[in-house]
C-alpha cells in the first residue's frame, strides 16, 4: 500500500465570522483507501496553503507506505537548510499525517485511537461553535 494522490479542500466561513479558512486534505492510496486530515493554522492565503500541501506531499510523501508516518515526518522536518522548519511546514504536515493515520486505521479496521495506544477516556466534554444567524444588518 502506497500513498498515491492528494486533494485539498478549502472551506471559508462567512465574512467576519470565525477564522480565515479551514484546509482539509484527502489522501488516496494505490489500493483505493482514502484518509482525511485537517491542516491547522497555516498563515498564508488559502490557495497558497493548498499548494504548499500538494508540494509537500509530492516531494516527501507520494509513494510512501502510510504506516511509516515517522519517516515521512522526519523527511519533511529535515528538508530545510536549518533542519528546523517554521510553523507553516508543521501545519501543512499535520493534515497529511492525520490522513495517513486514518488510512492505516481503515486498512487494519481499527479506530485510530487504538493505533495510538488505546482509548483513555470513556467520555469527554465537547465544545462547539455555531455561527449566529444573519440578522440582515
CATH number of 28's domain: 3.30.390.10
Let me know if residue 28 belongs to a domain.
Answer: yes
Let me know if residue 120 belongs to a domain.
Answer: no
Task: Decide if 101 contacts 114 (C-beta within 8 A).
Answer: no
Let me know if residue 18 belongs to a domain.
Answer: yes
Dihedral sign for Cα 96, 98, 101, 102, please: negative
Q: What is the pTM of this model?
A: 0.84
Let me know if residue 132 belongs to a domain.
Answer: no
Let me know if residue 63 belongs to a domain.
Answer: yes
pLDDT single digits (tens) 92-111? 999 999 999 999 999 999 99
Structural domain harbouring 104:
3-115
Let me know if residue 71 belongs to a domain.
Answer: yes
Counting residues of the chain whose pLDDT is more than 70, the rounded percentage is: 86
Let me know if residue 72 belongs to a domain.
Answer: yes
Residue 106 or residue 40, greater confidence: 106
Mean pLDDT (the chain) is 89
Domains identified in the chain, total number: 1
Let me know if residue 22 belongs to a domain.
Answer: yes
Amino acid at each position: 500500500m502506497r500513498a498515491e494522490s492528494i486533494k485539498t479542500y478549502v472551506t471559508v466561513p462567512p465574512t467576519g465570522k470565525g477564522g480565515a479558512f479551514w484546509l482539509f486534505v484527502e489522501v488516496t492510496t494505490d489500493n483505493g483507501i482514502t484518509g482525511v486530515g485537517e491542516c491547522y493554522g497555516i498563515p498564508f492565503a488559502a490557495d497558497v496553503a493548498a499548494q504548499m500541501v500538494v508540494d509537500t506531499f509530492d516531494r516527501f510523501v507520494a509513494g510512501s507506505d502510510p504506516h511509516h508516518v515517522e519517516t515521512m515526518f522526519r523527511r519533511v522536518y529535515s528538508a530545510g537548510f536549518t533542519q528546523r522548519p517554521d510553523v507553516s511546514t508543521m501545519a501543512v504536515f499535520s493534515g497529511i499525517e492525520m490522513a495517513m493515520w486514518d488510512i492505516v486505521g481503515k486498512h487494519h479496521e481499527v479506530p485510530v485511537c487504538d493505533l495510538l495506544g488505546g482509548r483513555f477516556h470513556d467520555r469527554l466534554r465537547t465544545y462547539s461553535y455555531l455561527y449566529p444567524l444573519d440578522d440582515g444588518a
